[in-house]
Amino acid sequence: MRLRNIPGADEIVSNSSFCIQQPEENKGMWAQFLGNSYPIHIEIGMGKGRFLMDLAAQNPKINYLGIERYTSVLLRAVQKMELLPLPNLHFLCADAAMLPNLFAEGEVDCIYLNFSDPWPKERHAKRRLTSPEFLNRYDQVLSPNGRIEFKTDNQALFSYSLEAIQNSPVWKLDAFTKDLHHDRIMGEGNIMTEYEEKFSSRGNPIYKLVSSRSSELG
């Protein structure tokens, strides 16, 4: 599906105080930029921002950074923040492939991947956010005890993601479920995204996994 371009989105995002311009300049210095030493959690492909806004409101002592590549999507999150600003939430208009250019080693404590593009064609597999290529990028920025949390309604992408982590020499599966909303343990405290609410209302099961580095490392 072609993303609809919204006139003026580029300018609004560029001028928004909620969006960090030139984020690569903060690499290794995010604590100084944010003005505190709270943990940093990021969402890659944050969409319209509901998930992070709910998390930020609940956890004022965690810094949340939402990464979204498309200004036409990020614009919606900016508009929401204008109505309900949150001091511990900021946005970055950036490509996830550039993650190691944005954060230093160990600077991120948690990465959220919610309803990512499945890139179903095999020739596009490297673009999947749970591909070995992206898992390597996460390894470059996550803290030693950092974790990845991934949710999707796409069964094929979830199976691919499970296999990618199980075959990784770096990562291990901490937990997973193939029906999050009916899983008493993993579903506790779950915060839904806009997509999650839409997909689950259609009866689609929601898949989730949590991953961290293998204890055999180091």
Active site residues per annotation: 117
For residues 46 and 48, what is the distance between their CA atoms, to the nearest angstrom? 6
Q: Which residues touch 208 (CB under 8 Å, ≥6 apart)? A: 149, 150, 151, 176, 177, 180, 186
The Cα-based distances of 188 to 46, 99, 181, 195 in angstroms read: 21, 30, 9, 19
Cβ distance 18 to 52 under 8 Å? Answer: no
For residues 68 and 73, what is the distance between their CA atoms, to the nearest angstrom? 7
Give the residue among 88, 210, 50 at the shortest CA–CA distance from 142: 210
Kindly state the tokens that stand for 82: 């204008």
